[in-house]
Amino acid sequence: MGASAAGRLAERMHCSSPSSPGQASPVRRCLLLVATAVSLLLVTVPSAADGAEQDAVWSWPLDTRAVARDLDLPASRYGAGHRGVDLSGAPGETVRAVAPGTVTFAGTVAGVGVVTVSHGAERSTYQPVEDRVVAVGDAVDRGQGLGRLGPAGSHCATVCLHLGRLLGEDYLDPLERLGRGQRVRLVDPDGPPPRPATAGDGSFLRPVGGPVTSPFGMRVHPVTGVRKLHDGVDLGAPCGTPVQAAAAGTVVLRERHPAYGWRVVLDHGDGTRTGYTHLQAFAVVVGQRVEAGTRIGSVGTTGLSTGCHLHFMVERDGAPVDPMLFV
């Protein structure tokens, strides 16, 4: 506040009366009061920066940036629903704080590791978190490790982190704060239709011809009726159709899985793997080196399947991604 402004305020406070000899000037006393009032205003009036933290974008809690399931709030406070978002991740991946704050809970709920961090008015929650390295009362920075993502308590088709956002007792959408830097967003079959997909980068061969009968993303499983992540694409083809390797690699798995049926997995290096499931026959063995186009089996309908097709999967650093980005 300038001298002229202070003087005007002093005049409005009637600070111009003469003083008697030996007494402090009323003007001086009033100006001291003005200075005190101004200093209190400077302390108590919130600045623009105070609100910025509440509006700040959260950093991603995982290195993987894929949304497996969106927020789906129930109709009533105690009804069934999904009070957060599921983020795809890899077992053992570090779970990081989304913003600066204070740990208000670090323990287990129904056997599942949970961490809660308060960011002022809002709180973020993380589960399942194993090998926790924080305790209640700890101050954490944005991006600081809280523990590791564990498989126990994960309710996704693959390992995922359930991230929650609360304001008081109300659940809010974490994706409103995770909007920037998002790399992969899975399509919800109950939501609006997605834009037509563009062609992939051509780094992989298409393992079989035929149409995509079920894309990568959230869906209701046609056999179990459970709504979950479809972690690959279904390519329609008759049983017995040869299945070729999408790229050069090494066979690291050949198994008979209860859900995937007869399955082959290839490791292509750099954290990339491809999976070929529901096969009716194998044409490779574990440890075998294959080239792009090598026959690895034939289309079948083994496991939880409703008909002949190939379920083709791509993983990057242990997390499923849309195979059509690469073919």
Angle, CA of 244, 250 and 253, to the nearest 5°: 85
Rounded Cα distance between 70 and 170, Å, is 16
Question: For the domain with range 66-185, which CATH number is right: 3.40.50.300, 3.40.47.10, 3.20.20.70, 2.70.70.10?
Answer: 2.70.70.10
> Which residue matches tokens 């790229």?
247
What pLDDT was estimated at residue 118?
95
**More confident of the two residues 219 and 207:** 207
Q: What is the pLDDT of residues 165-195, one digit of tens each?
A: 988 888 888 887 875 434 444 445 555 444 4
pLDDT tens per residue, range 105-143: 999 888 889 999 999 989 999 999 999 999 999 999 999
- Spell out the residues 6+ positions from residue 301 whose beta carbon is closer than 8 angstroms to its own: 239, 261, 278, 280, 307, 308, 309
Q: In the structure, what pLDDT confidence band is assigned to residue 159 with cuts at 50, 70 and 90?
A: confident
For residue 235, the model assigns a pLDDT of 92
13-22, 257-266, 268-277, 304-313: the lowest-pLDDT one: 13-22
Amino acid found at 207: P
The confidence score (pLDDT) of residue 293 equals 95
pLDDT per position as a tens digit, 226-267 = 666 788 899 989 999 999 999 999 999 999 998 899 999 999
Average pLDDT, the chain: 77
| Separation in Å, CA 145 to CA 57, 94, 220 | 18, 6, 34
Exposed, middle or buried, 20 (CB in 10 Å: 0-12/13-18/19+)? exposed
User: 324 pLDDT band (50/70/90 cuts)?
Assistant: confident
Hey, where are the domains in the chain?
3-45, 66-185, 212-325
Q: pTM of this prediction?
A: 0.43
2-6, 221-225, 319-323: which has the highest mean pLDDT?
Answer: 319-323
Supply φ then ψ for residue 165, to 5 degrees. Answer: -140, 120
77: exposed, middle or buried (C-beta count within 10 Å: 0-12, 13-18, 19+)? exposed
State the Cα–Cα distance between residues 228 and 171, nearest whole angstrom. Answer: 21
CATH number of 212-325: 2.70.70.10
User: Cis ω on the peptide bond leading into residue 128 (within 30° of 0)?
Assistant: yes
**Which amino acid is located at 29 in the chain?**
R
Domains 66-185 and 212-325 share a fold: yes
